[in-house]
Amino acid sequence: MKNIRNFCIIAHIDHGKSTLADRLLDETATVTKREAQAQLLDSMDLERERGITIKSHAIQMEYKYKGEDYILNLIDTPGHVDFSYEVSRSIAACEGALLVVDAAQSIQAQTISNLYLALENDLEIIPVLNKVDLPSANPEEVTDDIVDLLGCDAEEVIPASAKTGIGIEEILAAVIERIPAPKGNSDEPLQALIFDSVYNPFRGVETYFRVINGSIRKNQQIKFVATGNTYGADEVGTLKLTQAPKQEIKAGDVGYLITGIKDAREVKVGDTITDAKNPTQNAIAGFEDVKPMVFAGIYPVDTEDYEELRNSMEKLQLNDASLVFEPESSAALGFGFRCGFLGMLHLEIIQERLEREFDMTVITTVPNVSYHAFTNKHPDDIILVNNPSDLPDPSSMNRVEEPFIKATIITKSDFVGPVMSLCIEKRGQIASQTYLTTERVELTFDMPLAEIVFDFYDRLKTVSKGYASFDYSPIGMRASKLVKVDVLLNGQPVDALSALLHQDNAYDIGKRMCEKLRELIPRQQFDIPIQAAIGAKIISRETVKALRKDVTAKCYGGDISRKRKLLEKQKKGKKRMRAVGNVEIPQEAFMAVLKLND
């Protein structure tokens, strides 16, 4: 056990985690030249296309150092704020972390929040200064920033370049010397922590675990503590580039387990695996429950695919434990699911994965956040409002509370003005402003979460020319003046387009929603009025004009009354058509509400 090291790589998005992982795998000869490719651990097509890591990936490396053989278990983690739940799970399975900082971009918001996650779990931090070969790199200044942040010595910061391979040997040496070996006892009853799981259509659920105490053998009878179910360990092994079956995995090591479980709900991430005959008395404290930030409805395009969508979601939830969903129905869209996501990128990725991995075409409704409503009758009873249609009648309502977050934005000092005005426009209140260096400022705002759901991140990047990094954490609920804005098409409310908005913004957003829908809804044989309403009061109206045939074409000359007769006849027909007409809403219309400023 003294020769095992478990560590993860944490950094802000785009600071070179996956490239560094590639170089470590090359250096330890874990992959052959033939298998090597860029972003090797990013196995999803989606990750490669977007150049981001979505899932944590575990892999085992073997390395000879000073004549001794060491086993290094590396977990590569995502960098985007929406996937911080993945990072927290990886950190729970490690003793140390490589903190990668880009020498050209210095410390960003996500670097700091991931660092705090690691420090809370008492991990040994090894700072790595990446991309020192870039002409725009500023190694001395960034090293000083890291020293200020961590309180370490400048000598402890390892300068490296994952692209060219500078400093890779020093990183491996530091991992072996500075990160402590795992603590645990092979003779105690089995106690292992599940930190991830994936669904394999041929073999059932594959569970990734880290053994804390005891050991797990092939064909052993094991028990999951949270569900209380017992299974036979059909196969155990370690995670090389492909799975390597073993007879036994001992304390301190990381491996995978196949038990032939077919039902995705039987495996809980954060659960403890133990021996069925001689169970451990104390379960490992699991991970915190995930707190979804953004809610949206996901509906199958064809209502008959509802069950298939449920199965796809369950399998996807296994691979992405931060997805939360429950069934709901909508008058406009039929049966579907109300899903909770960690952010807008997460929602986009889930929608894309459903389409690619499970061939499901889905409609996503306007995302919103979760509110608390209180009525006059029971002012202490919280009514949870995840969907605008759950909001109680305004006449009986006492107050509505909405979730607030603490937003941390790090940007260059030139962009402080535009960033501030953007945050204030989004109802933010400035809490603090700190100059980290003469060039870099950290701004802290208290903001309503609902304002961040709508195009905030894109606009922040625009006003700061891409130089702002953003991170947030929830700070609780606060009372707010909210109204429900309904969208009516042809006089019928479309519940999937309703939104809860702040009173001051309701008129403006309602008007923009109508204008946007007018562009997107195709013209029909009759006029379609598009209206935004608060309660019974219409606040905005646009009309999609009817397609009309030129009925007067055959009248040349003669009395005007002949033309009028034909036009009146056409008008009556259009009126009758409008009374029975149905309006088809294209999928873009639901998402367009998010991009009102474009």
Q: What 3-state class would DSSP assign to 295?
A: strand
Which helix (H) or strand (E) covers residue 48, if one does? helix 45-50
Show the DSSP H helices in 334-481 as ranges. Answer: 344-358, 416-425, 449-453, 456-463
Q: What 3-state class would DSSP assign to 25?
A: helix
Determine how many CB atoms are found less than 10 A away from the CB of residue 201. 6
Structure tokens at 371: 């509110």
Which residue ranges make up the annotated binding site? 14-19, 130-133
Residues 595, 512: Cα–Cα separation, whole Å: 10
Given a contact cutoff of 8 angstroms between Cβ atoms, the answer to whether 365 and 332 are in contact is no
CA-nearest of 510, 512, 516 to 544 is 516
Measured in residues, the chain has a length of 598
Which residue ranges make up the annotated binding site for GTP? 14-19, 130-133
Residues 369, 348: Cα–Cα separation, whole Å: 16
Residues 56, 286: Cα–Cα separation, whole Å: 17
Per residue of the chain (598 residues), what is the pLDDT tens digit? 677 888 888 887 777 777 787 777 777 766 666 665 655 555 566 666 666 676 667 788 888 878 788 888 887 777 666 666 667 777 777 888 888 888 777 777 677 777 877 887 788 888 888 888 878 777 788 888 878 777 777 777 788 887 787 878 888 888 888 888 878 777 777 888 887 777 777 888 888 888 888 888 888 888 887 777 888 888 888 877 677 788 888 877 888 888 877 776 677 777 778 877 777 777 666 555 666 777 788 888 777 888 888 888 888 877 676 788 888 877 667 788 888 887 777 888 888 888 888 888 888 877 777 788 888 887 778 887 777 777 777 778 788 888 888 888 888 888 888 888 988 888 888 888 888 777 778 889 898 888 877 667 777 877 877 667 777 777 888 888 888 888 888 788 877 778 788 888 788 888 888 888 888 888 877 788 888 988 888 888 888 887 777 777 777 777 888 888 888 888 887 777 666 666 667 666 666 665 665 5
CA distances from 30 to 4, 59, 452 (A): 16, 9, 42
Cα dihedral 155, 160, 165, 171 sign: positive
* Core vs surface per residue 106-128: b (16+ CB within 10 A) or e: bbbbbbbbbbebbeeeebbbbbb
Query: Tokens 């860029």 appear where?
Result: 38
Burial class (CB in 10 A: 0-12, 13-18, 19+), 138: middle
pLDDT of residue 15: 74
pLDDT of residue 214: 81
Residues 154, 146: Cα–Cα separation, whole Å: 8
CA distances from 578 to 45, 63, 272, 525, 571 (A): 46, 74, 61, 8, 10
DSSP letter at 535 equals T
pLDDT of residue 116: 77
E-strand ranges in 112-247 read 124-130, 158-159, 191-200, 204-213, 215-217, 221-224, 230-232, 235-239, 243-246
Residues 255, 575: Cα–Cα separation, whole Å: 68
pLDDT of residue 480: 84
Rg for the chain, CA atoms, rounded: 28
**Range 113-119 contact pairs with CB under 8 angstroms and sequence separation of 24 or more:** 113/81, 113/84, 113/408, 113/471, 113/473, 114/10, 114/11, 114/12, 114/77, 114/79, 114/84, 114/87, 115/10, 115/149, 115/150, 117/10, 117/84, 117/87, 117/88, 117/91, 118/10, 118/91
Say how far residue 225 (Cα) sits from the centre of its chain: 28
CA distances from 191 to 483, 559, 561, 577 (A): 51, 95, 91, 69
Given a contact cutoff of 8 angstroms between Cβ atoms, the answer to whether 363 and 354 are in contact is no
CA distances from 528 to 535, 569, 596 (A): 20, 19, 21
